[in-house]
Structure 1
């Protein structure tokens, strides 16, 4: 395992340059045919499956400043927002107004769950985007391949098998980010081996001081984080891939909107992946994997802030074991089926006090699921196909808290999910379309039936049994058009959620089921004025209503639009991004979910940012940016307002970062 201190040295830039070689650069992924050099990503492009699926290259810089974790990267994709707990680090991602386990978050096909009852260590806080090769987002309940599927979206951070060319024994890339307020990142992706075997190291470290908002006020938001993953792979032929992976990470982050800070974000991971393709004319591929993750999280109120009152510390942990076996079979030249089974077992423990290390961990929850699924694709015509899937999950959740608290109970249930979708191509119209309907039943997660918010519901202690599984039925539809200099796309949805899990915060804390309707969508328009000048406009809107009480669903971000202008040549590019966010007047005071809650309405704002890139050599590029050029002082509607896990209501929203300068240097070798 690499020593994390290596990434604390500011000689990383020099090391990156030393690693630079004159070999030819790998093909650079381009968003459109007009882009001649890699540009700073600011808009959603590269959609697949007629707009339903979005694919991103996380190794390219984005604006605002290159991402520190999964949530900060996903906000560059239309439909995603995040609940701010402090600054850029460790926000909790949302999609189309939905939060928590409604979004399935996967790394290399495995789920790595956080442990904090207040989601201080959300799943995305353990993800370093630039260490992955690809990010794939499937919108809506339109995939059933993974356990306990997400109703809002499925997000996959993935690394590909490595195939070093004959005669080349080392390749990779290194990058560094330098920015305002002491931001300093180091990233290394290094592969050594030959054409049949490899050893790959993905390592990174990021630090930042507190930032200042647009009025020059200091915001408690500093962090220090590092991640290291080492994988060993064997590809004896083009149809076989075996990979073992081990990882370790840790860090700390200050939270302006919490009563405590996160002073440990420990991660330990092990995994084994086997893949065999083209077995015979019927079995096209077999995939098998098993992954173990251990998250060890500490929060306290004294290490990263002045002590006020009594010192407090809590240590929580979660072990997660995922396994899956998947077969891809070819029935006819028009009909393929993907079938499989999977399982997940996770255990949550906790302990507290300043002498926590000498106290045994106390198990309070186990969560087990066993699932079976099938997805089929049938080519109706040369330009139309039907995609359909179904799965069943048998779930058991057990409460191990003290019997004297009326806990220590077990829940068992079987949850069905499925979808049916038609995808069409109209070459004469330069248009692709999709329309699908999906249904997902979701077991209440740890945060909804075990966290401190769930400890009392109108004086009752039986939240564990009373909160019902959530049932979402949703229609997704959209299109993509591209012809000449013009392209545009739309993704839209409308859904009914029965037994939507809603939380009420202080003064009337409760967790309950209501019925709800949801609707909204995303759009984008792109036009190339010349071979060098391009503009695009994109936007997103989400709407929700609690139909049981005839009130707005809480914690839904307002309409947002992004206007982007790029000028691109063979050696450099210049860009400007104008982010426009409308006021949000649909809210429900003191109501929310496991992540946050509404305080009231919010004001609209606009933020202008600029960027540029320069291709120094074939394999070396430099990206520069200024975020919030006009130094606007503004807050997001989704915003932590106090110690949510204690059921408190805050009085101040957290201001976003003011003017922010950054540079991103990347070397490929």
Structure 2
């Protein structure tokens, strides 16, 4: 009944918005009608794609990393383990099913317990745009993400005259939250440089009952780029990035003493603007993660150090032949995971750990080629692509071994646009090899062996939807249905953590509406539902979030803006206790909840901006369904919790200066 009421309310609001579309004042989009200081959500404005500007303040205030930002986009859930290091899930699919691309690089985590998923090395505000492509509907950005692809991207600079621009911001909040970022871009018609440095830290937060949750973190990031623009059509850029920090988590005793990444990238682009060949892009990268986790501070002689080195690159060519546009290309990556751990019988403490030699755990190489095409049939657009990947994976522990996989992925989508309407229908197929974390679990038939013989996972999914946009109203809808053959399930039942293949079915939908009631007042609603079925075992698929709705109202007057966000989440009784994915397993059924957050903003001219907010206004004690166990929550003044509870009432303020 609750689901029906929520759906009815959303549909009525969306329908009312369309009825009144001609009555509300129009918005001159050429003057930037969406330039509000505080952003509370993003709608899908083109088929299966959400694009957002991470530099704008947003509610709720995200954590320092990429996962905290993705949580603000409807459809994403985050497996919370503390104040940072959350693992994203999209449409009920988590882990490596989401393809995270860090400005062209594939940066993988190292920790066997997922202390550092790929998003842990991303500070969102330092990027210029973030795009989410839902479902297996692109083949361009490396091995296909069956749940979707997330692109964290930076713009390439171009200066006509010698000049410099930049921005600086500082954010302070409850639980000693403190962030700062400084960005500088300078150059002339032939050269440019970019520099950004940021830091984010927080103490342990408290839930709504005042119970301390072990969640402190301290992270630092720095990126530097030098560019050469010999002409208007060419750019060559060399960049370097480094991040480091530490964190504590409520779901485990181990502390992340070191979470470090260092990367180098060389990128070249040239626009030919020819009759057929339009442009080419080349990128090569090298990155290495270093992670130390231990319990030395607690007087326990236990510690591990893991590292992962990944290097690769791609070359793309963009073509135009009449009504046909296409991108063709190839990409490559080589990655090695290695580690070292103390032997408590002969080693003692951090110094002994760091003196031990590393041993390789797993390594792989991947080579892929693809073609992605658009053909305008007027009025129907056909978008399609196909991709081939060859993998060579080596296991260096347990039974050891070498496996090779040849995978084919692809998609086809038709889009029809007329007036303010867009309709689309697409089918996608993604094949995915088992990742490091899945292989390192026990074999389903032999607990002494690794799960190196897992079959590749194969997802076939149908996506359909409608987008309607006029001056004052935007409506968007998306439906999907997918069948997953050889879904890789993590099963912690019977005392062992095992990986095994099953068959699964997923389906769900997303509905969003935005109504600009007047030039000063607008509202936005979203509704998201995902359903997963373990067909092999005839039970629910683990780690699928329940029905969720969001309502925001924003009001602006002069240089001020004010807003409220109401988030409502249904209970979840479709669970598979002990089963899930590499991000976590179901702990049990979860209760529904609702939270309210307030925000405001003020701008002074073109240079100074102030934003502020209060989240979980009524200090509710609750945990998300997708959450880790709180059994490791053992700081003074705290008690273990069934799940890792979300923060209680917390306030924040952010000051930003642009120059």
Q: Same fold (TM over 0.5)?
A: yes
Residue 506 to residue 282, structure 1, CA distance change in 2 (3 Å): same
2:316 aligned residue (326, 340, 345): 326
SS at match of 1:268: strand
Residues 545-571 of structure 1 deviation map (CA, whole Å, 9 limit, x = unaligned)? 011111000001111110100001331
Quote how far apart the aligned CAs of 1:643 are: 8.1
Equivalent position SS for 2:508: strand
Q: CA deviation at 1:485?
A: 2.5
Cα displacement (A) at 1:57? 0.3
Hey, what's the Cα distance between the residues in 2 that align with 1:112 and 1:480? 33
**Structure 1 pair 441/620, CA: closer, same or farther in 2 (3 Å)?**
same
Matched, 1:107 2:102: yes
Q: Secondary structure at the match of 2:125?
A: helix
Out of 231, 249, 254, which is 2:248 matched to? 254
Match of 2:11 in 1: none
Which of 619, 635, 641 pairs up with 1:631?
A: 619
- Deviation for aligned residue 1:484: 3.7
Cα deviation code 1:311-332 (max 9, x no counterpart): 2111001000121111111122
Q: In 1, distance between residues paired with 2:650 and 2:42?
A: 23
In structure 2, what is the equivalent of residue 420 of structure 1?
Answer: 412
Higher mean C-alpha deviation, range 146-155 or range 390-399: 146-155
C-alpha offsets along residues 241-288 of structure 1, whole Å, 9 cap, x if unaligned?
Answer: 111111111001110011212111110100100001125221101010
Partners of 2:187 and 2:605 lie apart in 1 by 26
The residue that corresponds to 2:39 in the other structure is 41
| 2:654 corresponds to which of 653, 656, 664 | 664
Contact 1:259 1:642 (8 Å CA) reproduced? no
* DSSP 3-state at the match of 2:119: helix
Aligned to 2:494, the other structure's residue is in SS state coil
Pick aligned residue for 1:622 from 610, 617, 638: 610
Please list, as runs of the form range in 1=range in 2, the aligned pairs for 1:425-574 lying within 5 A after superposition. Answer: 425-427=417-419, 430-450=420-440, 454-509=441-496, 510-574=498-562
Of 142, 152, 158 in structure 2, the residue corresponding to residue 157 of structure 1 is 152
From 391, 402, 412, the counterpart of 1:410: 402
Is residue 360 from structure 1 mapped to residue 357 from structure 2 by the alignment?
A: yes
In structure 2, the CA distance between the partners of 1:279 and 1:338, relative to structure 1 (3 Å rule), is same
Alpha-carbon offset, residue 457 of structure 1: 3.0
In the alignment, which residue of structure 2 is the partner of 1:287?
Answer: 281
CA–CA separation in structure 2 for the residues paired with 1:193 and 1:652: 54
Q: Conserved in 2, the CA contact under 8 Å of 1:199 and 1:230?
A: yes
Residue in 2 aligned with 1:397?
393
Q: What whole-Å deviation, never above 9, does each CA across 1:117-145 have from its counterpart, x for those lacking one?
A: 11111000000000100001111000001
Q: Is 1:233 aligned to 2:223, yes or no?
A: no
What is the CA deviation profile of residues 389-426 of structure 1, one whole-angstrom value per residue up to 9, with x for unaligned ones?
0010010100112xxx4x22000010000000001102
After TM superposition, give the deviation of residue 35 of structure 1 in Å.
4.5
Matching residue within 337, 340, 344 for 1:348: 337
1:64 matches 2:54 = no
Q: Does 1:378 align with 2:367?
A: no
Aligned 8 A contact 2:395 2:452 in 1: no
Shift of 1:100: 1.0
- Distance in 2 (CA, whole Å) between partners of 1:664 and 1:31 is 27
Partner of 1:177: 171
Hey, what's the Cα distance between the residues in 1 that align with 2:287 and 2:29? 34
**How far 1:195 moved relative to its partner?**
2.5
TM-score normalised according to structure 1 size? 0.90
Shift of 1:651: 6.7
Q: Which secondary structure does the structure 1 equivalent of 2:603 belong to?
A: strand
Equivalence for 2:191: 197
Contact 1:147 1:369 in 2 (8 A): no
Shift of the 445–500 alpha-carbon distance from structure 1 to 2, 3 Å rule, reads same
Alpha-carbon shift at residue 367 of structure 1 (Å): 1.1
Q: Tell me, which stretches of 5 or more residues in structure 1 are unaligned?
A: 1-29, 645-649
Structure 2 residue matching 1:51: 3-state secondary structure:
coil
Equivalent pair of 1:326/1:341 in contact (CA under 8 Å):
yes
> Residue 325 of structure 2: which of 336, 339, 344 is its match?
336
- Residue correspondences, number: 617
Per the alignment, do residues 597 and 96 of structure 1 end up closer, same or farther by CA in structure 2, a change over 3 Å counting?
Answer: same
Structure-2 separation of matches of 1:131 and 1:608: 28
Secondary structure of the residue that 2:183 maps to in structure 1? strand
CA distance in 2, matches of 1:59, 1:487: 23
Q: Which of 112, 118, 125 is the matching residue for 2:113?
A: 118
Distance 1:193 1:34, change over 3 A: closer
Over 3 Å counting, the alpha-carbon distance change for 1:582 and 1:504 in structure 2 is same
Q: Give the TM-score of the pair, scaled to structure 2.
A: 0.91
Q: Given that residues 173 and 651 in structure 2 are in contact (C-alpha distance below 8 angstroms), is that contact kept between their aligned partners in structure 1?
A: yes
- Aligned partner of residue 275 in structure 2, secondary structure: coil
CA contact (8 A) 2:552 2:565 kept: yes
CA 1:37 to 1:378, structure 2 compared with 1: closer, same or farther past 3 Å?
closer
Structure 1 residue 83 and structure 2 residue 70: aligned? no
SS of 1:236's equivalent in the other structure is strand
| Alpha-carbon separation, structure 1, partners of 2:549 and 2:267 | 41
Match of 1:11 in 2: none
Alignment of 1:298 with 2:292, yes or no, is yes
Shift of residue 114, structure 1, vs aligned partner: 0.7
Whether the 8 Å CA contact 1:37–1:573 is kept in 2: the answer is: no
Q: Which residue matches 1:592?
A: 580
Per the alignment, residue 306 of structure 2 pairs with 316
1:652 matches 2:642: yes
Q: SS at 2:223's partner residue?
A: strand
Q: Which runs of 5+ in 2 are unaligned?
A: 1-27, 343-348, 633-639
CA change 1:66–1:101 in 2 (3 A) is closer
Match of 2:67, SS?
helix
Q: Report the CA distance between 1:239 and its aligned residue.
A: 1.1
| Match of residue 568, structure 2, among 565, 580, 596 | 580
Change (3 A) 1:377 1:154: same
**Corresponding residue number in structure 1 for 2:69:** 73
Which residue in 2 is equivalent to 1:211? Answer: 205
Deviation at 1:33, TM superposition (A): 7.5
Deviations 1:492-511 (A, max 9, x none): 21100000000111434221
Q: Is contact 2:250–2:631 with CA below 8 Å preserved after alignment? A: no
